[in-house]
Amino acid sequence: MFARLAEQYRSVVHDLVLSLQALARCLQEQGQVASCYACGDGTHQSGVSFVADLGESHVVRFLVSDYGITWVESRNGMELLKLEGVDAIHELQRVAQQLQTKQVVVGLSPAASTAASAQRPEPVEVAS
């Protein structure tokens, strides 16, 4: 049972790495500041650090490591919100959807919007 759980967690981490890398690329293409760094190589990635500046000194950081999954939101260097586990993933999904909506509202052409949304991460389900 424990080996199966460990493999499921590695799979979740791998999916999160791919999704966060795609989200960072998409934000960068929109001219926003975002970075994503993965720890490990290939399919043996043990973690990821994603940071994005959402404007007006509003920064979000999403960390995945062997110790868990964390979402930290700050403004002007002061921590506003810290979530862990499933709550952190839900917040990441909410912000990704909000950014996608913002992209469409800004007035990108339908072709550019379609190309960008193709790179958008899909929701990641975590087994309870």
CB 50 within 8 A of CB 24: yes
CA distances from 92 to 38, 79, 118, 122 (A): 17, 16, 17, 11
pLDDT above 90 as % of the chain: 37
Residue of 13 and 50 predicted with greater confidence:
50
Answer whether residue 110 is part of any domain. Answer: yes
Length of the chain equals 128
User: In terms of residue numbers, what domain contains 17?
Assistant: 2-118
Sole residue written with tokens 């950014």: 99
CA–CA separation, 125 and 8 (whole Å): 11
Residue 62 has pLDDT above 70, yes or no: yes
The sheet that has 78-84: what strands, in order across it? 34-41, 44-55, 58-65, 68-75, 78-84
126 domain-assigned: no
> Can you tell me the mean pLDDT for 14-23?
88
Q: Does residue 58 lie within any of the structural domains?
A: yes
* pLDDT value at residue 43: 63
The pLDDT value recorded for residue 41 is 74
Confidence check: pLDDT of 1 > 80:
yes
The predicted-structure confidence for 26-46, as pLDDT tens digits, reads as follows 889 888 899 999 887 766 777
Residue 96 inside a domain? The answer is yes
**Structural domains in the chain (count):** 1
List Cα–Cα distances, 122 to 29, 58, 106, in angstroms: 18, 24, 22
Eight-class DSSP state of 76 = T
Would you say residue 113 has pLDDT above 50? Answer: no
Give the pLDDT band (50/70/90) at residue 59: very high
Instruction: Please report whether residue 11 resides in a domain.
Output: yes
Establish if 90 belongs to a structural domain.
yes
Note whether residue 125 is domain-resident: no
Q: Decide if pLDDT at 112 tops 60.
A: no
pLDDT at 67: 84
Instruction: Average the pLDDT over 4-28 and give the result.
Output: 88
Q: Is there a domain that residue 124 lies in?
A: no
